[in-house]
Amino acid sequence: MAEDPARVIDSAFIASLSTLTPAPRKGPDELLTPDGALTCAEALALFDDQAASRHLDLAARALRARGEGFYTIGSSGHEGNAAVAAALRPTDPALLHYRSGAFYLARARQVPGSTPILDVLLGLTGSRDEPIAGGRHKVFGNARLSISPQTSTIASHLPRAVGLAFAIERRKKLGLPSETPSDAIVVCSFGDASINHSTATGALNAAAHTSYAGLRMPVLFVCEDNGIGISVPTPEGWVSEAYRDRPGLRIFRADEIAAVGAHRVASEAARYVRERRRPALLHLSTVRLMGHAGSDLELSYRTASQIRDTEAQDPLRRTAAILTSCGAATPEALRERYESIRREVAALAEQAIARPRLSSAEEIMAPLAPRSPARIAIEATRAPEASARQRFWGEALPEREGPGTLAQSINRALGELLVKYPEMLVFGEDVGRKGGVYGVTRGLAKRASAARVFDTLLDEQTILGLALGAAQHGLLPFPEIQYLAYLHNAEDQLRGEAASLRYFSQGQYENPLVVRIAGLAYQKGFGGHFHNDNSLAVLRDIPGLILAVPSRGDDAAAMLATCAAAAKIDGAVSAFVEPIALYHTRDLYEAGDALWCAPHRPVPEHVPLGSPRVYGEGRELLIVSFGNGVPMSLRVARRLEKDGIAARVLDLRWLAPLPITELLAHASACGRVLIADETRRSGGVSEGVVTALVDGGFRGPIARVTSEDTFIPLGDAANLVLMSERAIEERARALLAAL
Ligand SMILES: Cc1ncc(C[n+]2csc(CCOP(=O)(O)OP(=O)(O)O)c2C)c(N)n1
Ligand SMILES: [Mg+2]
């Protein structure tokens, strides 16, 4: 049986100390090396941080073996990243790789009162007292240290890092005060395999592109290159070569594996980003010791000699050798430090085990998506300042114009919100000068300034990442995704990142935002599937996400105000899906009736989260719908009425949270329910509605009309697979005839 790699590394380090010959001793305030910036005392502190990180890895495995620890991906071999922390300030926002133990310890050293060793142990043992995730995940994070938590999805934090760097500069440009120092830079680390992920290449490209375009982008990317990703080697030299000549992105290479050696290049890189406000990539040499995680059998994909060669490059050994040869410490002193840190970690581990763990579903979910409806109501109906409105709209006050379509109402509502929230930004593909593909943001850039309403590059991950970073930095982003179909290649930014941040930080970090998405079908055959995507399934099950689908202009305006208020009050993340086919619809029953237009109200009537709109008081049939289905259902109800059948129509308006109480009340008042759902039969909204009715005890007949489980074709063929008004009517009549 193979020897335990943790024990091998531990004993090899101790044995290596006895091979070192001490040089004449230097004082703590003397420079370690003539060309470096570190004093002997600082270098020894870096040794301590690296040693503590190592002992935490050893403790993680020991805790796992006892059934008290739940995570064994370690930082061994990556301890050089302590140099990056030492080269930065504790107010520089950090988004870290999962091998950042030494960075965490070195940064904590810069903030008095920190307890980093205990923090990490509380994370390993899943304790409720862990400072960032409180037992919900093992991450490096701490609000006091400006380290926001990361998910396990490699590279998914890079777009947010770009957004944060952008936001630091944009806040300054807009004259908005900030607690973050104005010369702060963002640091974002990741592995060598991760740099190939499209999320990483997209974010690196976005940072370079932004800088190339002349905007400031103070982000330091750190690629911790250990030459492998789980079992797959990275070709030698790939990272440096791939990023050598990238316009807009400067690369720095730190070949030294020990923190005391890497510190000089790390400082140079940090200084470049801080002074020039340009992005840089620090390529940091590391090795991976003890396998990918505790469960990883390295011998299944690496030879014993490869493993031994890597072990010989242990950065702790290298650090000890430098410290000894420069006269900062004797080998005996280093051994004593190493053993005393071992004892400290062991004692704190016992404390961590004794700390409480999460004990109820309510406790676990509490930070996910708090809702304060009373405060949201007040905030949503707070009027924007009259003089600011006047400045924004000038002579063209929208209430003086006639009733508007859905597109016009959204445009005006966005304008009002831009007046009300000076920190609000609207951005996406073509939303600036052009004013959006459908004119929904037309004129806003001119009125609000190009600093607040602007075009982004063509990458949905970047658009959402920009929003996450901007929101995390106190701005109120309203990103736009041009078509629902194009959300999917960036969806994790919403699901894994935006929606989970409060949860993994117990509300210490938030990214309140409203992402507007043009979507759904009925473009009269134009565009095929990708302009008619009618699936909302991926949005409906994201924990805590608010999903709004307005069908008419006045609702849209009010719901946007509610989403903005929920963002401000509760840090909420909302997806606001706008039915494209209704953007320019004016009439409901017949040409010229203008019943689908709405007058503008500077302060809309409040539409609470999860509250539906009900049309009519019929008691024979309840038609439940949303989006395009609402005007269809209203026309069907009108035809039924002519035949003496009294139906009422309920527009859900909110698909998450669903308006369950009202749904049940109206269902029982009518006795029968027909769901007119334009999304698909499988995974569509009607599944949730039926379930809510059944769960809520409704025992009357339920029927549903949906679109087919297919992609949508071009031309009139689209009508063969989409829910039709005729189908709603036929199903309604059949449901009524059955009784
Ligand atoms: C998006 C995504 N795909 C796959 C994984 C599984 N996974 C976790 S770590 C890893 C390898 C990462 O290697 P590298 O970036 O070099 O970091 P290292 O572990 O070597 O420090 C993989 C494939 C993941 N976490 N996220
Ligand atoms: Mg790697």
Q: Which residues contact 80 (CB under 8 A, 6 or more apart)?
A: 50, 102, 254, 256, 257, 258, 259, 261, 262, 284, 285, 286, 315
Instruction: Report the pLDDT averaged over residues 382-403.
Output: 93
Name all contacts of 713-716 with Cβ < 8 Å and 24+ positions apart: 713/528, 713/529, 714/525, 714/527, 714/528, 715/525, 716/525
Instruction: Report the pLDDT averaged over residues 380-386.
Output: 94
Q: Give the per-residue pLDDT at 208.
A: 98
Q: Does the Cβ of 193 fall within 6 Å of ligand 1?
A: yes
Q: Give the per-residue pLDDT at 680.
A: 97
For the CA of 97, the nearest atom of ligand 1:
21
Q: Does the Cβ of 724 fall within 6 Å of ligand 1?
A: no
Assess whether pLDDT exceeds 90 at residue 579. yes
Assess whether pLDDT exceeds 60 at residue 1. no
Q: Give the per-residue pLDDT at 59.
A: 98
Report which secondary-structure segment, H or E, holds 334. Answer: helix 331-354
**Token reading at 7:** 């024990």
CB 90 within 8 A of CB 145: yes
Assess whether pLDDT exceeds 80 at residue 480. yes
- 300-303-307-310 Cα dihedral, nearest 10 degrees: -130
Q: Looking only at Cα atoms, what is the longest distance across the chain?
A: 104
Catalytic member of 78, 197, 531, 600: 531
Q: Which of 76, 224, 230 to mutate to test the pocket of ligand 1 (most atoms within 8 A of CB)?
A: 230
232 CA to middle of ligand 1, Å?
10
**Quick check: helix, strand or coil at residue 275?**
helix
Q: Which residues contact 40 (CB under 8 A, 6 or more apart)?
A: 26, 27, 28, 29, 30, 31, 32, 323, 326, 327, 328, 329
Distance CA 659, CA 207 (A): 41
Distances from the Cα of 618 to the Cα of 38, 582, 645, angstroms: 80, 25, 8
Assess whether pLDDT exceeds 90 at residue 700. yes
Q: Whose CA is nearest to atom 21 of ligand 1?
A: 191
Q: Does the Cβ of 231 fall within 6 Å of ligand 1?
A: no
Other beta carbons within 10 Å of 173: 12
What does the mean pLDDT of the chain come to? 97
Q: Does the Cβ of 450 fall within 6 Å of ligand 1?
A: no
**Token reading at 441:** 């943001």
Q: Does the Cβ of 228 fall within 6 Å of ligand 1?
A: yes
pLDDT band at 226 (very low <50, low <70, confident <90, very high): very high
- Which residue is it, tokens 């009784």? 739
What are the tens digits of pLDDT across the range 230-253? 999 999 999 999 999 899 999 999
Please report, as a single letter, which amino acid is at residue 463. Answer: I
For the CA of 153, the nearest atom of ligand 1:
26
CB 535 within 8 A of CB 679: yes
255 CA to middle of ligand 2, Å?
15
Q: Give the per-residue pLDDT at 329.
A: 97
Q: Whose CA is nearest to atom 17 of ligand 1?
A: 191
Assess whether pLDDT exceeds 80 at residue 572. yes
Q: Which of 53, 152, 194 to mutate to test the pocket of ligand 1 (most atoms within 8 A of CB)?
A: 194
Distances from the Cα of 401 to the Cα of 346, 587, 592, 676, angstroms: 72, 18, 18, 34
For the CA of 199, the nearest atom of ligand 1:
1
| Residue 474 main-chain phi, psi, to 5 deg | 85, 5
Distance CA 104, CA 201 (A): 25
Distance CA 351, CA 4 (A): 26
Q: Whose CA is nearest to atom 20 of ligand 1?
A: 229
- Which residue is it, tokens 């004016």? 586
pLDDT band at 3 (very low <50, low <70, confident <90, very high): confident
Assess whether pLDDT exceeds 70 at residue 334. yes
DSSP annotation of 728: H
252 CA to middle of ligand 1, Å?
23
Strand bridging mode 228-229 / 232-233: antiparallel
Q: Does the Cβ of 288 fall within 6 Å of ligand 1?
A: yes
CB 621 within 8 A of CB 672: yes
Q: Does the Cβ of 151 fall within 6 Å of ligand 1?
A: no
Please report, as a single letter, which amino acid is at residue 302. Answer: R
Assess whether pLDDT exceeds 90 at residue 716. yes
What are the tens digits of pLDDT across the range 539-553? 999 999 999 999 999
155 CA to middle of ligand 1, Å?
9
607 CA to middle of ligand 2, Å?
49
pTM: 0.97
Instruction: Report the pLDDT averaged over residues 377-401.
Output: 94
Q: Give the per-residue pLDDT at 738.
A: 83
What are the tens digits of pLDDT across the range 82-136? 999 999 999 999 999 999 999 999 999 999 999 999 999 999 999 999 999 999 9
Q: Give the per-residue pLDDT at 610.
A: 97
Other beta carbons within 10 Å of 586: 15
Q: Does the Cβ of 198 fall within 6 Å of ligand 1?
A: no
Other beta carbons within 10 Å of 479: 30
Q: Does the Cβ of 192 fall within 6 Å of ligand 1?
A: yes
Side by side, the strands of the sheet bearing 424-428 are 453-455, 424-428, 476-481, 513-519, 573-579, 546-548, 654-656
675 CA to middle of ligand 1, Å?
44
pLDDT band at 2 (very low <50, low <70, confident <90, very high): low
Q: Which residues contact 674 (CB under 8 A, 6 or more apart)?
A: 621, 622, 623, 624, 702, 703, 704, 705, 728, 731, 732, 735
DSSP annotation of 494: I
DSSP string, 155-218: TTTHHHHHHHHHHHHHHHHTT---SS-TT--EEEEEETTGGGSHHHHHHHHHHHHHHHTT----
pLDDT band at 527 (very low <50, low <70, confident <90, very high): confident
Taking each continuous run of H as one helix and of E as one strand, the counts in the chain are 26, 20
Q: How far is CA 271 from the centre of its chain?
A: 28
Q: Is the dihedral of CA 322, 327, 328, 332 positive or negative?
A: positive
Closest among 542, 606, 612 to 572, alpha carbons compared = 542
Other beta carbons within 10 Å of 33: 16
**Token reading at 732:** 């309604």
Report which secondary-structure segment, H or E, holds 656. Answer: strand 654-656
Q: Give the per-residue pLDDT at 739.
A: 63
Closest among 18, 13, 20 to 51, alpha carbons compared = 13
229 CA to middle of ligand 1, Å?
6
pLDDT band at 51 (very low <50, low <70, confident <90, very high): very high
Distance CA 592, CA 702 (A): 35
Q: Does the Cβ of 677 fall within 6 Å of ligand 1?
A: no
CB 444 within 8 A of CB 415: yes
Closest among 6, 75, 83, 91 to 42, alpha carbons compared = 83
CB 424 within 8 A of CB 452: yes
Active site residue 531: yes
